[in-house]
Amino acid sequence: MSDVALILGIRPDVIRASKIIKLIDEFDEFKLDFIWSGQHYSENMKDVFFNQLNVRKPNYEFEIHGKSDADIVSSTITSLYEHFKDHKYKAVIFLGDTNTVMGAIAAAQHNIPIIHIEGCMRSYDWRMPEEKYRTTIDHLSDRIYAYLDSYKTQGINEGIGESRITVTGNPIVDIIFENKYLFSQGADLVEESISTIIKTEDYVLATCHRRENILDIDSLKSIVSLLNSIEDKIIFPMGYKTQEQLSKLQIEINENVHIVDPIGYIEFMYLLENSKYVISDSGTVIEEACILGIPSIQMRKSTERPEVYDVGASVKFDPTRKNVNKKIVSEVIKLVSTKWNNPFGDGTASEKIAQDIRSMYLDDSFHRHDRKDYPFNTDRSYMS
């Protein structure tokens, strides 16, 4: 019987947790069950990332059902609740802010201690499902790994006990540092149409998937208008929901925008590292660009990663407002020749997280009923 479980469900989580999984698997003291929630299920949204990052296959894979967030969340909670009946874990680990992390409710119902990697990040944009999810799991969690001191402060300001939050740095730095030598292989993995573009001219890389962007007609049109204002070739690996929305709404994109289906991690990082700049609403892509020294346009009303603005690595484009597209593009071009310091850590986050989990296991610290601030932190000012 395994002692600790890690539950993941989407592509970026596989990337970010890949080294943590390998480190914990090396421990003799306990075993890790890797559980895949089933939130991302197609091969090019999941399996390719296991293969390219040499991540072992999950011990368990759920088949969750439904199209809405409510369907996916309820299916995840039910699947995990039933799984936890037969698997008495000492702790369960979640990462990020997706539908999958709401499975923490099932762990809480079984009184299993909860560990949250990527805690206390806040965009303060309540339209985002992710903002609701990360707030919920942070307040359920017994141990939170926050990437930066500023994130920890945000959690404390919400009444989360300081002793529950450990600052580690961002594991995505570790992954980039250790796999950077692989990125050049992406030149041989991209399809021929992309290969022709990157060999002959400068290009811009683009991604767009957030629901508050693609499901809002005005925001989506604003984003396409931005893309259509750019003269460079644009390579756009486009998620299936985004493709569906553009087709349904009959929104036209200029011919210089080359749309392809989602691609693998190594291909994407090769394209990112060699791009002129990137346009994205993905928090992970914006982090990766910042770490690699690639300027970005962040298509967000607000972000949980304001550090990219602080260091001068990114330009904000708010799709909910009327923007002067040429001004936005000219601003990001100014960043092409500039340099900034990576604000996300020194590449040791995965080691810190894995070793802390090991220490808690050895100290037998996985006990919800021993948490002094359970169920609420007693230092909340409004409770005193």
| Catalytic residue numbers, as ranges | 209
What does 199-257 look like in DSSP terms, one character per residue?
A: HHS-EEEE----HHHHSSHHHHHHHHHHHHT--SEEEEE--HHHHHHHHHHT----TTE
Rounded-to-integer distance, Cα 180 and Cα 172, Å: 12
Q: Which two tokens stand for residue 48?
A: 């390719």
- Beta-carbon-side half-sphere exposure of residue 301 (alpha carbons within 13 Å): 18
User: Cβ(61)–Cβ(33) under 8 Å?
Assistant: no
Contact 315, 335 (CB under 8 A): yes
Nearest 5°: CA angle at 328, between 323 and 334?
Answer: 165
N-to-C CA span, the chain: 43
